[in-house]
Structure 1
């Protein structure tokens, strides 16, 4: 799963349309102050494991920065429009988990379709529609040899445990 930074502005209630019902949602997370009234919180994408920032993949006999490419794609999508962030009741690696939609596109599905992430279907058992979309995105990325699927790679979880391709050593 990829890390994202959600910027939480104190006083979000003031941004809600007047007369709109206001429901507070809370979660626990480690936060950083960007300035006096702006906080940043790390969370992980639900049902997705993206290549890690320092991770390398192999294609055409040499290593390339698939992890950096994953980070860059997420950054571009988040920079281009507001993100709708739907928090889950789950947590992963001590961080909240969320789905993120940008301009109507599921960020996790986009990352998988680009060959820069793999679905974590065991987390999606209760969301059959999302699991089907993520599986289809993976199949399309594999068939078109997009991103990491153009060559050799190891799962991000294995990479985090110290596994490396021969070109990384």
Structure 2
């Protein structure tokens, strides 16, 4: 999936004279969207969503579950400003964060939609979130949401080269 989100940092000199920034920073690859807007990538904590080019199978045909995950995340992020909380962790060289939009956890939203799976091994210090994600996963499987309506490969296995028969 869309394993990372675009985190927009506005860099401006307006109203910052005398301001003191004590928030911890992070190191990440960044790119300029324009002269005063910078984008940096990060990964969601405890979530492994289907990769952008990943296919899943339902009704004996492949469908773009990874693109669906990316589109779903984009729709949620487009609803309102996102609250992004960076952790002190890094994954695949990128900072790890939690994201909420309108009070809804983006990771849980993707899992409930059947477009991501939980990674409880990365949530040992956040048992409440681990439980929330695990319950969302069980509900998505029961309701056959998204990819769980058919065949799918865990994103980590897909990144390693495993493919469904319909992808070959």
Aligned to 1:166: 165
How far residue 92 of structure 1 moved from its aligned partner, in angstroms, is 0.4
Query: Which residue does the alignment assign to 2:69?
Result: 70
What TM-score do you get using the length of structure 2 for normalisation?
A: 0.94
Compute the RMSD of aligned alpha carbons. 1.7
Runs of at least 5 residues in structure 2 that lack an aligned partner in the other structure? none
In structure 1, runs of 5+ residues without a counterpart are: none
- Can you list the C-alpha shifts for 1:85-136, whole angstroms capped at 9, x where unaligned? 0001000000000000000000000000000000000000110110010000
Distance 1:54 1:103 in 2: 28
Deviations 1:41-100 (A, max 9, x none): 010000000000000000111100000000000000111110000001000000000000
Q: What's 1:150 paired with?
A: 149
Per the alignment, do residues 6 and 61 of structure 1 end up closer, same or farther by CA in structure 2, a change over 3 Å counting? same
Matches within 5 A, 1:17-166: 23-166=22-165
Query: What TM-score do you get using the length of structure 1 for normalisation?
Result: 0.93
Q: How many residues align?
A: 165
Displacement over 2 Å in runs of 4+: 11-15, 20-25
CA separation in 2, counterparts of 1:83 and 1:157?
A: 26
For 1:45 and 1:14, locate their aligned partners in 2 and report how far apart those are by CA, in whole Å: 31
